[in-house]
Structure 1
Amino acid sequence: MSKRRDPNTMDLFHDYQPPEVAARFEPDVAKGGTLDVKIARVLSEAMSRSGKSREQIAAEMSDYLSQNVTENMLDCYASPARRDHKITLERFIALIDVTGCHELLGFVCEFSGFVAVPFRYGEVIQLWQTEERLAELERRRSALRGRVGGLLK
């Protein structure tokens, strides 16, 4: 007798999709071009993904920073042709907060070979690193014991 699958119960091996932990854009968003062009593309993508108008983003960034940010500024930051307008770090931080696009963090991190992960995973990563170090120390200890042999008796 075959078992029927309960349609209301998720199949761990078929239905489950693990959450994306590392914040990063799809490779085609920032591929090709100079760094200026890549930055303009990811800024434009972040604003588009937010579902907010650039006018609304500018207003929220202005509130966040207590300084005037205009829609025109955002247009310039997102334009590869406008090499004379660069986003400042504080505006970049405000843009991340206002749009909720944490892939911008991943974009920056990738240049140094890192990834951006949510803070709540920090201790999990530290635990893994600690266990890796302990395993390496245990391998070294075993090797030394093998070489030292009977000298300790």
Structure 2
Amino acid sequence: MKSRDRFTADLFDWQPPKVAVGFEADLSGNRLGSRISRAVSLALKECGKSRAEVAEAMSSELGYPVSADMLDAYASEAKESHRITLERFVALVTATGCLDLLGFVAGLFDHVVVPGRYQSLIELHLIEEHEKDLARMKQTVEAKWRAGR
């Protein structure tokens, strides 16, 4: 039996890197408030910090107190009277480092959030697609011109 080469990566195990930010978990549901609460809850679970640490970082960012109890309320689907504001949402992203929250919001509008380093690559692709469209248009016009002679 042949032993496996442990120093060469297996080409069939390769997965492309995640390009767009967003949660892997399904956050679908009927009510937007419930989906936002679940997103906040996931961010708090996945960030590796205690809620007290996140609250302290948010308080520092905002310049006014945010408590762990407030975070519990934002993460609870049952607490309908306690919804996170946009400024606190931004502070939550900063405090947790959870960019998947940005992907969650963009996903509501059928968009994605990608790191800025991909912007030029995306623009290049769009230009190349436009060039292909122009080339097809040119071929059509040339064919009409030749047929009309």
Counterpart for residue 75 of structure 1 = 72
Counterpart for residue 115 of structure 1 = 112
2:47 to 27, 47, 50: 50
CA distance in 2, matches of 1:72, 1:116: 30
Which residue identity is paired with 2:7? N
Answering whether residue 92 of structure 2 is matched by residue 95 of structure 1, we say: yes
Equivalent residue of 1:69, what SS? Answer: coil
CA distance in 2, matches of 1:132, 1:84: 48
2:38 to 41, 49, 54: 41
Counterpart for residue 20 of structure 1 = 18
Percent identity between matched residues is: 43
Q: 14-23 or 101-110, which moves further after superposition?
A: 14-23
The runs of 5 or more residues in structure 1 that have no matched partner are none
In the TM superposition, what whole-angstrom CA distance separates every residue of 1:96-135 from its partner, at most 9, and x where no partner exists? 1211211111111111111111111111111111111111
CA distance in 1, matches of 2:138, 2:25: 43
RMSD of the TM alignment (CA)? 1.9
TM-superposed CA distance for 1:5, in Å, is: 5.2
TM-superposed CA distance for 1:25, in Å, is: 1.3
The runs of 5 or more residues in structure 2 that have no matched partner are none
Equivalent residue of 1:109, what SS? Answer: helix
Distance change (3 Å), C-alpha of 1:112 and 1:100 = same
Which residue identity is paired with 2:57? E
Which residue identity is paired with 1:19? P
CA distance in 2, matches of 1:150, 1:80: 67
TM-superposed CA distance for 1:150, in Å, is: 7.0
TM-superposed CA distance for 1:144, in Å, is: 1.0
Using structure 2 for the length normalisation, give the TM-score: 0.90
Answering whether residue 2 of structure 2 is matched by residue 8 of structure 1, we say: no
CA distance in 1, matches of 2:25, 2:144: 49
Answering whether residue 144 of structure 2 is matched by residue 144 of structure 1, we say: no
